[in-house]
Amino acid sequence: MTDTKYIFVTGGVVSSLGKGIVSASLGKLLQARGYRVTIQKFDPYINVDPGTMNPYEHGECYVTADGREADLDLGHYERFLNVPTSKYNNVTTGRIYKTVIERERHGDYLGATVQVIPHITDEIKRNVSLLKEDFDFIISEIGGTVGDIESLPFLESVRQLKRELGRNCICVHLTYVPYIAAAKEYKTKPTQHSVKQLQELGIQPDILVLRTEKLLHRDLVRKVALFCNVEEEAVIQSVDVPTIYEVPLVLQEQEMDAIVLHKLGMEVGSEPDMSLWNDFLRRKDSATEEVRIVLVGKYVTLQDAYKSIDEALNHAAVYNDRRLVLSRINSEEINEGNAAELLSGMDGIVVAPGFGERGIDGKLAAIRFARENDKPCFGLCLGMQCMVIEFARNVLGLEGAHTTEVDEKALHKVIDLLETQKNIINLGGSMRLGAYACVLREDSLAYSAYQKAFVKERHRHRYEFNGDYREMFEEAGMKCTGENPDSGLVEVVEIPSRRWFLGSQYHPEYTSTVLNPNPLFVSFVRAAIGE
């Protein structure tokens, strides 16, 4: 392949239609044909990244291996493609403007008036092309919907790129076809208006993807094709399915990947090899026995706040031939008095990551119940730190033991801020971020899960296990079984006397994919089902 091919995915009518899932599904089909594929997300908000955004507003903040705090859609891209993303895969309006303004301050524009066109659009286009050396296909998802004022510079960049790239570039537009119950019919007018808005911006979609609850009659599809100036076979229906992992198969049935190749002037060739993907779905569908896991965290009321954890548990359950029944408990609603009532019926407990004081007491209560009742328990980041705090208070007898994130005057700062973090003023992008090495003890639970002593997992935190207390913890039964080989920082803690009691300072959920579930999650679920 001599030329990189570009696919732009836009959305209309309403947000949250699943542009990310459609992008990931199309990418999976192209990858299954032997192509090298990556997906990038352009977010219209002015935040430089989602690192300082409330999960209630934006959902999970994903982290790439090279340390970029990114949109949760990058998690979908990695879980589908099984290929790591990078800082180039997520770009916001804030980052675009920040770069352009810094260049202007530096004098790079030689006194020219800096404008949206060409300077902002040129910077967007530059970011589109940054990945071209390593991939055959670059799928670029434009956040928001057509008509949003924030998206206009990105859509103008798409218009320019379609003109410049010619047949190496296509646009896929995703819209919603609502069902009006009173009229007992689906309405295509919102899709027509959305496409019209896109055309007014100078972009003619090559492929339409219609999000619907049920399969549309062929007459409606013909109508959409006629009024939107799109070939009938290029109108794809994305009908609701039980799991997002079935979406690639829905698109494959309608030959969307073949249509894409045809429109890009490429040979279609043989069908994509989706055998491993289908094996995963077969195992998922055939699982009948349940495994009951509870997630304890303070953002549980928002579906996407812990998206990677949810999916990692799903992957692990499938590979243990179990059907996951996932419950969520707000950590502000659990305490020493009701922990037994809320948690006794669960097979395993996951204590979620997070920031700040709110909900910590509930996490400590859940951990104490798990430790004292030998219930499999998995602490992630702050969850791991809460394991350390609970052990310090209730086993070591260190009254007032805490993290300095919550109590700077704590008598026993078992979780403390690194010296390199103490003088940081800006919160965004200043934590310990990205993949760091971890060396595991060979006699540890973590080693038996990974089946190797050296791993690299992703981090997103400021506070660390205080090494001054390490010997005290080890002697009392909480072992520090994983550490960073360069800094000596503790990465994993375990209590070997319990069936499965482990906390990781890093976020193993970020690296769990459909075809490669994270080993710690697989091991945890195996313990939860009693194996």
Give catalytic residue positions: 381, 507, 509
Taking a C-beta distance cutoff of 8 angstroms, is the pair 89, 42 a contact? Answer: no
Reported residue count of the chain is 531
Three-class secondary structure assignment of 174-235: EEECCEECCCCEECCHHHHHHHHHHHHCCCCCCEEEEEECCCCCHHHHHHHHHHHCCCHHHE
The amino acid present at 345, given as its one-letter code, is: G
Query: SS3 of 171, please?
Result: strand
How far is 524 from 322, CA to CA, in rounded Å?
13
Encoding tokens for residue 316?
Answer: 């692990």
Helix (H) / strand (E) element for 379: namely strand 377-380
The strand pair at 463-465 and 90-92 is best described as unpaired
Contact status, residue 142 vs residue 92, Cβ threshold 8 Å: no
User: Over the range 246-272, which residues count as b (16 or more CB within 10 Å of their CB) and which as e?
Assistant: bbbbbbbebbbbbbbbebbebeeeeeb
CA distance 512 to 318: 12
- Our CA angle for 363, 67, 449, nearest 5°, is 55
37 neighbors 83 (Cβ within 8 angstroms):
yes
**Is the separation of the CB atoms in 62 and 43 below 8 Å?**
no
**Pairwise CA distance, residues 210 & 240, whole Å:** 11
Contacts of 325 (CB under 8 A, 6+ apart): 290, 291, 292, 293
- If you compute the radius of gyration of the chain from its CA atoms, what whole number of angstroms results? 25
Structure tokens at 294: 């509870």
Query: Do residues 461 and 479 make contact, with C-beta atoms less than 8 angstroms apart?
Result: no
Helical segments of 237-274, H only: 247-253, 256-263
Phi, psi of 427 (to 5 degrees): -85, -35
Closest among 146, 129, 124 to 194, alpha carbons compared: 146
Query: 121 near 153, Cβ under 8 Å?
Result: yes
Helices vs. strands in the chain: H and E counts, helices first: 18, 23
Q: Are 388 and 478 in contact, with CB atoms under 8 Å apart? A: yes
Give me the DSSP letters along 291-335: EEEEEEETTTTSTTTTHHHHHHHHHHHHHTT-EEEEEEEETTS--
Whether the bond between 44 and the residue before it is cis, its omega within 30 degrees of 0, is no
Which three-class secondary structure state does DSSP give residue 501?
A: strand
Q: Tokens for 156, please give them.
A: 């103008």
